[in-house]
Amino acid sequence: AKSGGRGTYVQYEPEMDAHLQAVQQMRVSLRQALANGDLEVHYQPLVDLHTGKITTFEALARWPHPERDQVSPAEFIPVAEETGLIGSLGEWILRQACTEALKWPPHVSVAVNLSPLQFRNQGLAATVGDILEETGLEASRLQLEITESVLLDDCDGNLQILKAIRRLGVKIAIDDFGTGFSSLGYLRTFPFDKIKVDRSFITDLPDGRESLAIVRAVAAIGRSLGIVTTVEGVERQRQFDVIKAEGFDEAQGYLIARPLPAEQATKLAHSAHVE
Ligand code: C2E
Ligand code: CA
Ligand code: CA
Ligand code: CA
């Protein structure tokens, strides 16, 4: 044990130490990458299932790492969250995404993921407004994707921030829908503009009976509430066909396109159809 101050002892746990050290190290190099402009944003299209046209690109953070192939955002976003870097990282991504979207045809929107921790910034709505003003992107072309944990956390404060963002004219999507405990309840709490069904429900289509029943129910709810319905993670043609037959509005997934570097995405945005 090592001394943790007068009269107290902190149990020395080498494993914990190793984790903290790794997080600290990644924090330092992530901060550097952000400062040096080494981070990138890639864009994955969402297509309208009725017209086949691209409606939206989702912005996804990328970190081309010198010593490793790539660090997944599933790994570095949590580090940014743990170390307080998420605020500046999130703003950077938002600014990049809005700037890129200006190069696309005006009917194409951009979707940006918001971490629940970004809501600790009481001025988040003002920040979003400032970035829209700075870049000149029309508010209606920006969609922000949140998970239900944003509403679960504290949550009246977050709800107020979300309402203020929506008052700017920005669209709000609920991401990873169906994975939480009470996704349905949140549809009553907040007027979401879009539902994105989690990939886990798409993976076992068309054979998974339970997934099919759930996906069908979500499509019906979206229709009756007037909310745009999307699925993520469409990898196979048969999944695409089921989703289309069930009346979803949009689809996203490797079958349509992988997340692309900005330049390629912008080229794709200007070509008439995908597939
Ligand atoms: P997410 O928001 O659910 O994003 C969708 C993830 O699914 C992305 O992974 C995307 O590349 C991947 N994906 C898309 N189509 C398919 C498919 O057909 N099959 C499979 N297997 N995967 C598909 P990615 O880019 O690795 O991001 C992982 C997660 O990291 C995201 O999940 C999101 O939670 C977080 N993330 C990524 N970029 C950002 C960001 O800029 N800000 C924040 N706060 N979080 C981000
Ligand atoms: Ca997302
Ligand atoms: Ca998602
Ligand atoms: Ca997901």
**How far, in Å, is the centroid of ligand 1 from the Cα of 60?**
6
* Nearest protein CA to atom 29 of ligand 1, as residue: 74
Taking CA atoms, 148 is separated from 51, 118, 133, 272, in Å, by 30, 14, 28, 34
**How far, in Å, is the centroid of ligand 3 from the Cα of 4?**
41
pLDDT-derived band at 154 (thresholds 50, 70, 90) equals low
Among 194, 254, 259, smallest CA distance to 230 is for 194
Q: DSSP secondary structure string, 108-175? A: -EEEEE--GGGGGSTTHHHHHHHHHHHHT--GGGEEEEE-THHHHSS-HHHHHHHHHHHHTT-EEEEE
Q: Which ligand is nearest to the CA of 230?
A: 3
Question: CB under 8 Å to 232, separation ≥6 — which residues?
Answer: 196, 197, 198, 199, 202, 252, 253
Please say if the pLDDT value at position 140 is more than 70. yes
**How far, in Å, is the centroid of ligand 4 from the Cα of 79?**
18
Which ligand 1 atom sits closest to the C-alpha of 234? Answer: 18
Among 257, 271, 275, smallest CA distance to 42 is for 257
pLDDT at 42: 98
Count, in order, helices (H) and strands (E) of the chain.
11, 11
Please say if the pLDDT value at position 189 is more than 80. yes
ipTM rounded to 2 decimals: 0.98
pLDDT at 2: 43
Supply the pTM of this predicted model. 0.93
Whether residue 93 has its Cβ less than 6 Å from ligand 1: yes
* Nearest protein CA to atom 34 of ligand 1, as residue: 74
Whether residue 122 has its Cβ less than 6 Å from ligand 1: no
